[in-house]
């Protein structure tokens, strides 16, 4: 034979079909005219295409091994991307993209989209958990056609344009020879079937919008932005396909007294100067009921009093955060004559008529803090 097809592909004569295909893919990637437009490269590409067509076909390979010419003189001379070797176009596509194109009609049944709604709860519900009923408007399976999309008594028909393949093909000529391209069928939109008489209830979509009532269990410890997943409670897919998921996003309404920071609660209690000096007990309505906050004698403004395990339940680990009470001491602004006299007498008894004061670094202004930040302090 004038051409050694084994040598063209660079394989041994006892090479397996897998080895022959791998060798062809490697050479096709290197020598394809779109990659190497050089005329010599194109001739080389025609050779490997012809060699692969022979060696990949058991009958042609057997004829070649016995000394025959499986391609014929004319075919052997003209084999290439647009000639006899064009029958292996899928293998060339496989060489570039890894797998041959797998086409076919699309399914009318597809999974539905996920949905999300927001649910407002108060602080007490977030702390201990609750159960809520919610109303959602989502797509559900059409009860008239059971998701088929066709009117009762009718059914989908095979598309007469693509004969059920879901695509139509077109052959065009280029400098490389004949090229076949495929595109979705314009009549059936790629489904392979058409619905002559759509369902009057859903207009052929297989689903309708319905308001439903669902019960949602809110676990203790949820916070703003927490999302609870309800599997299969979202939108039903086209054609009555499986439903997506429904996500319930928590929005916690502000509390009149407590501010939440993580799982801890914070509040501020304002007491008169005399109560802070002498000590007192202040009633406070906590999430667990009424309790008394013990203001010890000598409490200073800015001090904090923790009430352990009076905060929010930890979402996953159990236990609870703390309730922190911040004390603000109120100094009287107006005094009558008797009150002023009493305070002056107290100051005299304590030696505080002309106090020197105690100075310490205080809070800086904005520009001072910026200056220190730039100086690396």
Q: What is the CATH number of domain 5-97?
A: 1.10.287.110
Q: Determine the pLDDT at residue 364.
A: 55
Higher pLDDT residue, 320 or 168?
A: 320
Confidence band, pLDDT 50/70/90 cuts, at residue 66: confident
Q: Determine the pLDDT at residue 81.
A: 39
- The answer to whether 269 and 284 have CB atoms below 8 angstroms apart is yes
Q: Determine the pLDDT at residue 251.
A: 97
Q: What is the CATH number of domain 259-350?
A: 2.60.260.20
351-364: pLDDT as tens digits = 888 887 777 776 55
String of b and e for 254-277 (b: at least 16 CB within 10 Å)? eeeebebeebbbbbeeebeeebbe
Confidence band, pLDDT 50/70/90 cuts, at residue 90: very low
Q: Please check the confidence at residue 196 and state whether its pLDDT lies above 90.
A: yes
Q: Please check the confidence at residue 38 and state whether its pLDDT lies above 60.
A: yes
263-272: pLDDT as tens digits = 999 999 999 9
Higher pLDDT residue, 265 or 83?
A: 265
Q: Determine the pLDDT at residue 74.
A: 37
Q: Please check the confidence at residue 75 and state whether its pLDDT lies above 50.
A: no
Q: Determine the pLDDT at residue 65.
A: 78
314-335: pLDDT as tens digits = 998 889 999 999 999 999 989 9
Q: Determine the pLDDT at residue 244.
A: 94
359: helix, coil or strand? coil
Q: Determine the pLDDT at residue 372.
A: 60
Q: Determine the pLDDT at residue 376.
A: 54
Q: What is the overall mean pLDDT for the chain?
A: 84
Q: Please name which of 117, 43, 125, 52 lies closest in space to residue 91, comparing C-alpha atoms.
A: 52
Do 5-97 and 259-350 share a fold?
Answer: no
Q: How far apart are CA 66 and CA 45, in angstroms?
A: 25
Percent of the chain residues topping a pLDDT of 90? 56
Task: Kindly indicate whether the domain formed by 115-156+195-252 is annotated with CATH number 2.60.260.20.
Answer: yes
Angle (nearest 5°) at CA 335 between 332 and 339: 105
Higher pLDDT residue, 345 or 35?
A: 345
- Going from N- to C-terminal start, the domains of the chain cover 5-97, 115-156+195-252, 259-350
Q: Determine the pLDDT at residue 77.
A: 36
Higher pLDDT residue, 361 or 273?
A: 273
Ranges of beta strands (E only) in the chain are 115-121, 130-141, 157-158, 167-174, 177-184, 193-194, 207-218, 227-230, 246-252, 259-261, 264-272, 280-286, 289-295, 304-307, 323-330
Strands 246-252 and 115-121, sheet pairing: parallel
Q: Please check the confidence at residue 100 and state whether its pLDDT lies above 60.
A: no
Rounded mean pLDDT, 215-229 = 96
Length of the chain: 377
**Which residues pair with residue 121 across a beta bridge?**
252
- Give residue for tokens 């034979």: 1
For residue 334, what are the contacts with CB-CB under 8 A and spacing of at least 6?
none
Q: Which of 55-64, 275-284, 307-316, 364-373 has the lowest mean pLDDT?
A: 364-373
Instruction: Quote the pTM value.
Output: 0.64
């Amino acid at each position: 034979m004038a051409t050694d097809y084994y040598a063209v592909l660079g394989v041994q004569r006892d090479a397996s079909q897998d080895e022959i295909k791998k060798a062809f893919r490697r050479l096709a990637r290197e020598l394809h005219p779109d990659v190497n437009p050089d005329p010599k490269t194109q001739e080389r590409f025609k050779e490997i295409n012809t060699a692969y067509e022979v060696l990949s076909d058991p009958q042609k390979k057997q004829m070649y091994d016995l000394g025959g010419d499986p391609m014929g003189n004319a075919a052997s001379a003209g084999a290439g991307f647009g000639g006899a070797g064009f029958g292996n176009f899928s293998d060339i596509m496989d060489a570039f993209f890894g797998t041959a194109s797998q086409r076919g009609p699309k399914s009318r049944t597809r999974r539905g989209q996920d949905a999300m709604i927001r649910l407002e709860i108060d602080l007490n519900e977030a702390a201990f958990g609750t159960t809520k009923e919610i109303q959602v408007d989502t797509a559900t399976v059409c009860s008239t056609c059971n998701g088929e999309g066709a009117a009762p008594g009718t059914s989908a028909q095979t598309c007469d344009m693509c004969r059920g393949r879901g695509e139509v093909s077109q052959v065009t000529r280029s400098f490389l020879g004949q090229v076949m391209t495929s595109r979705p069928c314009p009549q059936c939109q790629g489904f392979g079937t058409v619905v002559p008489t759509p369902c009057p209830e859903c207009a052929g979509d297989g689903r309708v919008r319905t308001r439903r009532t669902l019960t949602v269990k809110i676990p203790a410890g949820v916070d703003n932005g927490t999302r609870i997943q309800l599997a299969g409670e979202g939108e039903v897919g086209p054609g009555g396909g499986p439903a997506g998921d429904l996500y319930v996003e928590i929005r916690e309404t502000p509390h009149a007294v407590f501010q939440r920071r993580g799982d801890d609660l914070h509040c501020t209690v304002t007491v008169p100067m005399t109560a802070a000096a002498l000590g007192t007990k202040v009633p406070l309505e906590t999430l667990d009921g009424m309790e008394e906050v013990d203001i010890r004698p000598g409490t200073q403004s800015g001090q904090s009093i923790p009430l352990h395990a009076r905060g929010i339940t930890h979402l996953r680990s159990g236990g609870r955060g703390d309730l922190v009470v911040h004390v603000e001491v109120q100094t009287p602004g107006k005094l009558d004559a008797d009150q002023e006299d009493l305070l002056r007498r107290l100051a005299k008894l304590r030696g505080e008529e002309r106090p020197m004061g105690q100075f310490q670094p205080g809070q800086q202004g904005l520009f001072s803090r910026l200056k220190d930040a730039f100086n690396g302090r």
